[in-house]
Every structure is written in structure tokens, then in C-alpha cells.
Amino acid sequence: MDPRQFKTFAEFYPFYLKEHGNRACRRLHFIGTSLSLLFLIGLVVTGHPGYLLAALVCGYGFAWVGHFAFEKNQPASFRRPLYSFRGDWVMWRDMLTGKIPF
């Protein structure tokens, strides 16, 4: 299924969750997103641009390892980068609140 076919994020998100059915992949996403958040806070507090690079490397690096090593699929960020970025944060929140199993 091509993620570019979705017209709204509400249509896209169920597809996004199916692409993250593997628990190890979801955990890697959660870890990467959490580290990214810490690095973004570091950027705001210190103004050091290295924190932005670290946030990007952690956020995408952990996620891509999860997809290629565990989920065995291509990240949706390659075809729907903005919906995928939003989906990662929504999934992170849903995992944090227990709506999605960690």
C-alpha cells in the first residue's frame, strides 16, 4: 500500500500503526523519539546546534534500525515524511499513555 494515497492524517495513522506491528520496532521508535526530545530540550536550553543533529540521528536512526532489522519494511518517512513525523509523535504519546503496548 502506498502511503501517499492518504488524504488526511486520520486516514494515514491506522496504516502507520500496521507498519509498526513489531514490538521491537515500536520500542526502538519510542527510545529514539524520547532521546530526540531530550536533545531538543538541550538545544533550547543551550542553543548548541549539535543537539539538533543528535536529535535527528536518534529519531531517525533508531526508527530505521527498527524497520530494516525487525519490521522488514521501508519507513513511511521515505514517502510521507510529514505524516510519518506526526505519526511517530502520536504513537510515542499513545505508548506513553498505555494506549499502544510498549
Query: Over the stretch 29-72, which tens digit does the pLDDT of each residue have?
Result: 999 999 999 999 999 999 999 999 999 999 999 999 999 999 99
The residues spanned by each domain of the chain are: 10-96
Q: Which residues of 30-60 are buried (b: 16+ CB within 10 A; e: fewer)?
A: bebbbbbeebbebbeeeeeeebeebbeebbb
How much is the pTM? 0.92
pLDDT in tens, 70-92: 999 999 888 999 999 999 999 99
**Mean pLDDT, the chain, whole residue set:** 96
Give the pLDDT confidence score for residue 77 in this predicted structure.
87
